[in-house]
């Protein structure tokens, strides 16, 4: 099985979640072994999507350096990962990826339109060899060996609308589109008001997020899934783990996970060769793996 990129350049425009201004997004093909690269066209600087370039995980996953940054990359990274794309350049004219409708579905549609092109080099994957876990109090994320890429995620909020939710997701492109991609980001009304007082979340609205009051959902159309909240957390986790730079084989489990915990997990995985091995996909392994992206 060979590495892949997109067939053609594709453009889109959307609102930035924090600045509330239109942002132009361009996806461009890249050659083998280039990975996912974010390029700020307004600054002329690039950031490769890898853990060492993550500079903030407070409210989103942020790539950057002293020359600039790109925020809220996780939803786009999630779609890129689900489509099995190894090499792609993401061009932006501002400091964040547009929020679109708060899910990954718009990015899936852009990738569908861009198409897929096979490259000349074999695909490589990162296979987990031993369990790695990161904890903060009672919150944790962990990865352990598995023959598949699987997610078992639990969230618990002291809010009657969310409460405790669990979802187990078997990773594949088809399952991602049907079960995960449409799940929107969410937030609480009191937090939105606080963020706006700091000139943040200026682009946030009921069109691109599920907003929750003390005991009800404010979006008139309601939820897309009964457990949309935990599904969106899986969407985020897929995007955060995509920063490992290679597709991964392993079982991910989380309780009240976060961008920060996911980032620490990627750093811990890569900290020792005892935690993982890199496999080149050919022969029977290639056929099995390809089924996930059919």
Annotated catalytic residue, options 231, 259, 263, 264: 259
Q: Token match 């979340």: residue?
A: 201
- Write the CB contacts of 254 (distance below 8 Å, at least 6 apart in sequence): 140, 141, 142, 151, 152, 153, 154, 233, 237, 261
- Distance of alpha carbon 17 from alpha carbon 97, whole angstroms: 8
Q: Which run of H or of E encompasses 117? A: strand 116-122
Q: What are phi and psi of 88, to 5 degrees?
A: -165, 145
Centre a 10 Å sphere on the Cβ of residue 120 and count the other Cβ atoms it contains.
8
Cα–Cα distances in Å, from 93 out to 10, 20, 88, 267?
15, 14, 17, 29
152 annotated ligand binder: no
Q: Extract the tokens encoding 157.
A: 């909020």
**DSSP-assigned states of every residue in 179-204:** IITTPPPEEEHHHHHHHHHTT-STT-
Residue 259 falls in the annotated catalytic set: yes
Contact 280/173 with Cβ under 8 angstroms?
no
75 annotated ligand binder: yes
Q: Which run of H or of E encompasses 82? A: helix 74-82
240 annotated ligand binder: no
- What are the residue numbers of the active site? 259
Residues that constitute the known binding site for Zn(2+): 75, 232, 236
């Amino acid at each position: 099985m060979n590495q892949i990129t997109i067939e053609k350049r594709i453009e889109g425009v959307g609102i930035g979640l924090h600045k509330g201004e239109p942002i132009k997004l361009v996806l461009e093909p890249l050659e083998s072994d280039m990975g996912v690269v974010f390029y700020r066209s307004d600054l002329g600087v690039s950031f490769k999507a890898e853990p060492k370039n993550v500079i903030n995980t407070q409210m989103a996953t942020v790539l950057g350096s002293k020359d600039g940054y790109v925020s809220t990359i996780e939803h786009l990274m999630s779609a890129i990962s689900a489509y099995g794309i190894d090499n792609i350049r993401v061009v932006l004219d501002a400091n964040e990826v547009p929020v679109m409708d708060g899910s990954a579905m718009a990015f899936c549609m852009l990738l569908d339109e861009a198409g897929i092109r096979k490259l000349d080099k074999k695909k490589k994957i990162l296979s987990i060899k031993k369990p790695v876990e990161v904890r903060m109090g009672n919150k944790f994320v962990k990865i352990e060996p598995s023959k598949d890429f699987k997610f078992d995620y639990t969230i618990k909020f002291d809010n009657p609308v969310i409460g405790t939710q669990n979802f187990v997701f078997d990773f594949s492109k088809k399952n991602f589109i049907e079960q995960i991609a449409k799940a929107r980001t969410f937030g609480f009304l009191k937090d939105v008001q606080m963020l706006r007082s700091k000139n943040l979340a200026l682009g946030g609205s009921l069109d691109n997020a599920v907003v929750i009051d003390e005991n009800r959902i404010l979006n008139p159309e309601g939820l897309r899934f009964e457990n949309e909240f935990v599904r969106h957390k899986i969407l985020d986790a897929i995007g955060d783990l995509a920063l490992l730079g290679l597709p991964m084989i392993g079982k991910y489990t989380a309780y009240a996970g976060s961008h920060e915990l996911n980032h620490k997990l990627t750093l811990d995985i890569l900290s020792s060769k005892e935690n993982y091995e890199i496999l080149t996909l050919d022969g029977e392994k290639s056929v099995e793996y390809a089924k996930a992206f059919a």
